[in-house]
């Protein structure tokens, strides 16, 4: 082969290599969501709308926060989330506002968003990823998937690794401790708790506790005071609406037959740390584990 032909061959080889690299960088992004559906993007998402506050947190943790162009009310963490345009609430987002933002990915919440509204977005051609994390140990996989969708896998994978390591530490320390029967109270009127499939139940199990309403299928069932008295929890843990301890937690003090009341095991955890399916769930888990350990320490000796 002469010099001129060799030069042409090398040029063609470089062009082929360059095209191959281009095709790899724009290869389809394919991720299976929590409903089992495949979400396919032509490239990592550049304009993302999230339809629940906890999805914002997870997306930022996965390194995709700068791609976020719209979200819902109460998306207050991290600080940068407060400036993102609102599209309504998770229970009733404004479809027209979402459409006007022209997202190339919408991340929804199966148990929070109206299914028909998500179906409308799909029908209009918008890729929709539906999230439904039900166990604390499933959070890191969701972080990884968000990293893939946003093209920030390096950050997402690192965040997921940190979560798994921290989770394993808590599991090793607390999960085989003597069991503490626990009643978790979401609200007073109506009196609401969590069923066995709600993610808070998995946090209770991680800490060596047992949700006294574990057998209930409903995620957030309404129960009666009589049912709580009959269950006789050793610890009562409440959340509320904000960082302040709800006054209604002390209403239990009138029911002195409950072990949790007799031993003063009435605890509070900030709702954002335990009711959101995010990396901060481990902060809430640490708090709960410490509280259940306090309850163990208050058991009579001998």
Can you spell out the DSSP letters for 191-216?
TB---TTSHHHHHHHHTTEEETTTT-
Mean pLDDT of 28-56: 95
End-to-end CA separation in angstroms for the chain: 94
> In terms of C-beta density within 10 A (0-12 exposed, 13-18 middle, 19 or more buried), how is residue 154 classed?
exposed
| Whether residue 273 has pLDDT greater than 70 | yes
**219/135 Cα distance (integer angstroms):** 12
The structure tokens listed for 139 are: 């959070």
Whether a cis peptide bond, with omega within 30° of 0, leads into 74 is: no
101 contacts 85 by C-beta, under 8 angstroms: yes
**149/46 Cα distance (integer angstroms):** 9
Domains of the chain: 30-159 (3.40.50.1980), 176-297 (3.40.50.1980)
**18/20 Cα distance (integer angstroms):** 5
Model pTM score: 0.84
Helix 153-174 and helix 281-297, axial crossing angle in degrees, nearest 10? 10
Looking at the chain, list the stretches that DSSP marks H as alpha helix, in order from N- to C-terminal side. 3-25, 53-61, 95-101, 115-123, 139-150, 153-174, 199-206, 225-231, 259-262, 271-274, 281-297
pLDDT in tens, 248-266: 899 999 999 999 999 999 9
Helical (H) or strand (E) element with 33:
none
Mean pLDDT of 76-80: 92
The structure tokens listed for 81 are: 């989330």
Q: Which residue has the tokens 């499933």?
A: 138
pLDDT in tens, 129-183: 999 998 899 999 999 999 999 999 999 999 999 999 999 999 999 989 999 999 9
- Give the confidence band of 27 by pLDDT, cuts at 50, 70, 90: low
C-alpha dist (Å) from residue 75 to 94, 145, 246: 16, 20, 22
Predicted pLDDT of residue 242: 65
| Whether residue 9 has pLDDT greater than 60 | no
């Amino acid at each position: 082969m002469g010099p001129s032909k060799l030069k042409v061959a090398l040029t063609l080889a470089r062009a082929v290599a360059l095209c191959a690299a281009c095709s790899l960088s724009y290869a389809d992004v394919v991720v299976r969501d929590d409903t089992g559906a495949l979400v396919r993007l032509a490239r990592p998402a550049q304009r993302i709308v999230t339809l629940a506050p906890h999805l914002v947190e997870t997306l930022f943790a996965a390194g995709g926060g700068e791609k976020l162009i719209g979200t819902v009310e109460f998306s207050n963490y991290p600080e940068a989330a407060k400036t993102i345009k609102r599209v309504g609430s998770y229970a009733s987002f404004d479809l027209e506002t979402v459409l006007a933002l022209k997202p190339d990915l919408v991340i929804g919440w199966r148990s929070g968003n109206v299914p028909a509204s998500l179906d409308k977005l799909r029908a209009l051609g918008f890729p929709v990823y539906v999230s439904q994390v039900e166990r604390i140990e499933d959070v890191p996989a969701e972080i990884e998937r968000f990293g893939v969708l946003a093209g920030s896998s390096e950050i997402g994978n690192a965040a997921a690794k940190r979560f798994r390591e921290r989770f394993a530490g808590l599991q090793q320390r607390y999960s085989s401790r003597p069991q503490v029967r626990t009643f978790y109270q979401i609200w007073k009127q109506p009196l609401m708790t969590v069923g066995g499939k709600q993610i808070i139940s998995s946090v209770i199990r991680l800490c060596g506790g047992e949700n006294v309403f574990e057998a209930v299928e409903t995620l957030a069932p309404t129960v009666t005071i009589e049912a709580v008295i009959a269950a006789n929890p050793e610890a009562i843990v409440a959340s509320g609406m904000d960082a302040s301890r709800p006054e209604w937690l002390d209403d239990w003090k009138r029911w002195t037959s409950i072990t949790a009341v007799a031993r003063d095991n009435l605890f509070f955890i900030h709702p954002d740390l335990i009711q959101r399916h995010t990396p901060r769930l481990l902060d809430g888990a640490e708090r709960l584990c410490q509280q259940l350990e306090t309850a163990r320490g208050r058991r009579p000796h001998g």
